[in-house]
Chains A and B, each alone.
Chain A
């Protein structure tokens, strides 16, 4: 960051980091307020919904809609009012003073008066040695991407939430059997998803159990299971391990600057999207560890755009001084 020259950097009013429902709703509102927001879309434009199949709980789509299709509609609506959607990832930030300094893809400097953080969350992994080694060779955190490579074989999925149920059901299209391994004896998933999974004859639940190791040299041959009640260890022969144990917020680049809880979620002032740094706002899954829905992300994205518009109107535009570090 220090050796990058900001004196000729592009300057902007609002930079939105992330392009899921939160970021694109913020972009829509900021664009309609004529703030000409720039959106850096990150490595997964569209966010987590890009890897989901049917979205059945976003109001206004009575027949459901595919996740990627919905995000294309979000993009089109934001662009219609002049939001500037760009490919690129913000790789570091300097929030010492306004205008704030951002670095895009480790090389391009950008100066911005306000920042809306909508970086969302990414899939968590189990943290096993074999897991990273066999990633792409049977280990996956995206059933909708990789499920089709495992036709007529047995697979295992770890998790007990809605995502785990949705992915388990998706995997039954290809796999001969889907084992759902869950740490507890009850599911976190919503009733409707539980009922669908329980009713599917290809799905078999393994309760009170953890995956403790991945077996396989060049590709997954199985997993080692441990029963949390009896302590019993057993092997399960499967060709794939899908991990669906939740998400962690993508907030690493803000660690030195913003107040976060112990899990890395950005803390916002109650009833607002204000962070501890004036002019920096946070919305969506990066700050919400409770609801984490597309519709709530969109809601807080709208709040962040309104907060930043009002804040800019009140505080005006800060001039860039090249002397500051």
Chain B
């Protein structure tokens, strides 16, 4: 079963910026209610996009450098990266379809 990837400040460059496929990064924290609310959605997306895109989570308590450099001021924030660049951004808990459509879009442009 495909699972999301847990990333850190240290692995961000390799796992996200240098990834061959698009990457969805969920910036979250354990104490954030809406983050918990979308957690199952993130897990489902990891499964559905397995092999086409990478779905990753970064804990903003344990990692501060990357969230700071991307000016994350609200969680959950979802960033979609392609070829090292942010191509889309979602702030707050939204419906799964909205996230899936944006990620699908990034995958389609990539192919």
Contact in complex: A68, B33 (CB < 8 Å)? yes
Question: What is the total number of residues of chain B having a CB less than 8 Å from a CB of chain A?
Answer: 25
| Closest chain A CB from B4 CB (angstroms) | 16
Contact with A along B35-54 (1 / 0, CB 8 A): 11100110010000000000
Given contacts A43-B95, A44-B93, A135-B91, contact A50 B74 (CB under 8 A): no
B101 to A: closest C-beta gap in Å: 10
* Nearest CB in chain B to that of A41: its residue: B37
Looking across the interface, which residue of chain B has its beta carbon closest to that of A45? Answer: B37
User: Contact: A144 with B74, CB < 8 Å?
Assistant: no
Q: Judge whether A278 is part of the interface by a CB distance below 8 angstroms.
A: no
Residue from A46, A67, A135, A144 within 8 A of B37 (CB atoms):
A46
Q: Which residues of B contact A148 (CB under 8 A)?
A: 29, 31
A145 at interface (Cβ–Cβ under 8 A)? yes
Interface residues in A110-164 by Cβ distance below 8 A to B read 135-138, 140, 142, 144-146, 148-150
Min C-beta distance of A121 to chain B, whole Å: 15
Are B33 and A51 interface neighbours, CB within 8 A?
yes
Q: Output the nearest chain A residue to B32 by Cβ-Cβ distance.
A: A145
Residues from chain B with Cβ under 8 Å of A146 in the complex: 73-75
Q: Which of B29, B31, B36, B94 contacts A43 (CB 8 A)?
A: B94
Q: What's the Cα separation between A150 and B77 when bound, in Å? A: 16
| A107-B97 contact in complex given A138-B73, A146-B75, A149-B73, C-beta closer than 8 Å | yes
A257 interface residue (CB < 8 Å to B)? no
Q: Is the CB of B37 within 8 A of A136?
A: no
- Minimal beta-carbon separation of B38 from chain A (angstroms): 8
Number of A residues with CB within 8 Å of any CB on chain B: 30
Given A51-B33, A68-B36, A145-B34; A43-B74 close (CB under 8 Å)? no
Complex Cα–Cα for A35 and B34 (A):
30
Interface check A259, CB cutoff 8 A:
no
Flag whether B109 is at the interface (Cβ < 8 A): no
A89 within 8 A of B: yes
On whether the beta carbons of B77 and A87 are closer than 8 Å, the reply is no
Q: Which residues of A contact B3 (CB under 8 A)?
A: none
| A219 on the B face (CB < 8 A) | yes
Given A136-B74, A137-B73, residue A87 in contact with residue B41 (CB < 8 A) = yes
- List the A side residues contacting B76 at CB < 8 Å: 145
Q: Is the CB of A50 within 8 A of B95?
A: no
B29 and A136 within 8 A (CB)? no
Q: Hey, which chain B residues are within 8 Å of A67, CB to CB?
A: 33
B96 CB–A CB distance under 8 Å: yes
Q: Which residue of A lies closest to B67 (CB)?
A: A149
Chain A, residue nearest B44 (CB): A87
Question: A135 contacts which chain B residues (CB < 8 A)?
Answer: 74, 91-92
Q: Is B11 an interface residue (CB 8 A)?
A: no
CB distance from A290 to the nearest CB of B (A): 25
Contacts of A97 in B (CB 8 A): none
- Binary contact readout B52-82 vs A (1 if CB under 8 angstroms, 0 otherwise): 0000000000000000000111111100000
The interface of chain B, by Cβ under 8 A from chain A, is 29, 31-37, 40-41, 44, 71-77, 91-97
4 additional A-B pairs beyond A105-B96, A218-B71, beta carbons within 8 Å, are A52-B33, A87-B40, A89-B95, A145-B35
Interface pairs (14), CB distance under 8 Å:
A67-B33, A87-B44, A87-B96, A89-B95, A107-B97, A135-B74, A136-B77, A136-B92, A144-B32, A145-B32, A145-B35, A149-B72, A219-B71, A219-B73
